[in-house]
């Protein structure tokens, strides 16, 4: 079992050298570390990962933003100036022994440093090398800044979110980065499985744009196979999915909100006591009269509390949920049962609370109390262990 994780270390003994910064690449490294891999983060001396100082909010811990702590826990840091011949030689010696290498530089930069896939493969033929870019390695967008909001904007995703009269609405998380990081882990694990069978390494590539396009596969497939190529039409009222019929959406009640997913409108009308909806027995009308139906349901649900409606809906096994904010979520027994939070030990009686891996293996959750490293914290240890010289 890895010293840095609880539960089965499925990737114990695996060495990952990670050149990536900020979110997508470091997230991939985090997921591998959660499975027990040893992840060595290569950082610029004195500066480190851009994520250390590019703040998610005004909240910081130990003069570093909370995102960096969350996404770089359970890793080691090796500080090296990749423009220095001596430092680059040390790093090359390290990647020669790595099982996995991760990088998310803009296309062309890693090649200039002599640490691209072909160069690393010459040193280490069995390496699994993962590259994440903003918009792919080819095409007119290849050299543009690869950032989450920009990937959402170019992908068409923003036209699915928000009501019909709203401007394009981004998803309020760095979804492109997080999807790309997780997709890289999928590719890396598949490549490692092939290497175990054949000894052959691989170059695994994705981009923020491709990750968000894949995220839309359901609706893109619908659009591409429509003879008229009609664009999705967002609902004018409580839009939650541009292609789905009423009642799909989030509705205000007398005291909060309730979310209702795919449910026959006539059955829903009978359950909540709304006669106009109970009379709509033709499923086609649930599409054609979507906004009218949602307006009727909106007005009806305002008449009583979320608890009242949820009692009725849950009694009939309707796909519905109260809408919780974070304090309400944390108070719930359902969240408590997940045991989803963990504390990272910063030393000197300080800690930072974050989430754990969402995966269980053989009944074990994957947790770690090791915090994100300081810049170059493990240089001496790594140089001695791998014989990198002084």
Q: Which of 170, 183, 174, 111 is nearest to 147 (CA)?
A: 174
> How far apart, in whole angstroms, are the C-alpha atoms of residue 131 and residue 129?
7
Backbone angles phi, psi at 378, to 5 degrees: -110, 20
State the catalytic residue, choosing from 69, 203, 223, 241.
Answer: 241
Q: Which of 305, 321, 302, 304 is nearest to 313 (CA)?
A: 321
Which helix (H) or strand (E) element contains residue 90? helix 85-95
Closest CA to 115 of 83, 147, 142, 139: 83
Closest CA to 121 of 202, 229, 25: 202
| Residue 308 is a catalytic residue | no
User: How far is Cα 208 from Cα 216, in angstroms, rounded to an integer?
Assistant: 13
Helix (H, G, I), strand (E, B) or coil at 75: coil
- Tokens standing for 84? 């220095």
Rounded CA separation 290/244 (Å): 9
Q: How many residues does the chain have?
A: 390
Q: What whole-number distance in Å separates Cα of residue 142 and Cα of residue 187?
A: 21
Tokens of 333: 């027994």
Active-site residue numbers? 241
């Amino acid at each position: 079992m890895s010293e840095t994780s609880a539960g089965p270390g499925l990737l114990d003994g695996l060495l990952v050298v990670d050149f990536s910064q900020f979110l997508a690449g470091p997230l991939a490294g985090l997921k591998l570390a959660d499975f027990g891999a040893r992840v060595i983060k290569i950082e610029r001396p004195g500066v480190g990962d851009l994520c250390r100082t590019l703040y998610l909010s005004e909240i910081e811990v130990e003069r570093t933003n909370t995102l960096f702590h969350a996404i770089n826990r359970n890793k080691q840091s090796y500080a090296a100036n990749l423009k220095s011949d001596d430092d680059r030689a040390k790093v090359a010696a390290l990647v020669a022994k790595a099982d996995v290498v991760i990088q998310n530089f803009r296309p062309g930069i890693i090649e200039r440093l002599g640490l691209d896939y072909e160069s690393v493969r010459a040193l280490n033929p069995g390496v699994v090398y993962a590259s994440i870019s903003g918009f792919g390695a080819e095409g007119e967008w290849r050299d543009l800044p690869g950032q989450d909001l920009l990937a959402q904007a170019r992908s068409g995703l923003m036209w699915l979110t928000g009501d019909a009269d709203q401007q394009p609405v981004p998803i309020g998380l760095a979804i492109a980065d997080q999807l790309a990081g997780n997709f890289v882990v999928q590719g890396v694990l598949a490549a490692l499985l092939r290497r175990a069978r054949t000894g052959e390494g691989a170059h695994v590539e994705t981009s923020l744009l491709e990750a968000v396009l894949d995220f839309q596969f359901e609706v893109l497939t619908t659009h591409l196979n429509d003879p008229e190529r009609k664009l999705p039409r967002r609902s004018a009222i409580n839009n939650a999915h541009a292609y789905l019929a009423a009642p799909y959406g989030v509705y205000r009640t007398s005291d909060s909100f309730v979310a209702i997913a795919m449910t026959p409108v006539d059955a829903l009308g009978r359950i909540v006591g709304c006669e106009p909806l109970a009379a709509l027995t033709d499923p086609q009308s649930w599409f054609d009269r979507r906004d009218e139906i949602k307006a009727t349901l909106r007005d009806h649900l305002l008449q009583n509390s979320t608890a009242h409606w949820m009692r009725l809906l849950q009694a009939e096994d309707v796909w519905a949920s109260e809408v919780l904010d974070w304090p309400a979520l944390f108070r719930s027994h359902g969240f408590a049962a997940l045991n989803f939070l963990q504390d990272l030990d910063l030393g000197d009686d300080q800690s930072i609370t974050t989430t754990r891996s969402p995966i269980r293996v053989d009944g074990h959750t994957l947790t770690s109390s090791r915090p994100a490293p300081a810049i170059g914290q493990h240089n001496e240890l790594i140089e001695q262990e791998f014989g990198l010289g002084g």
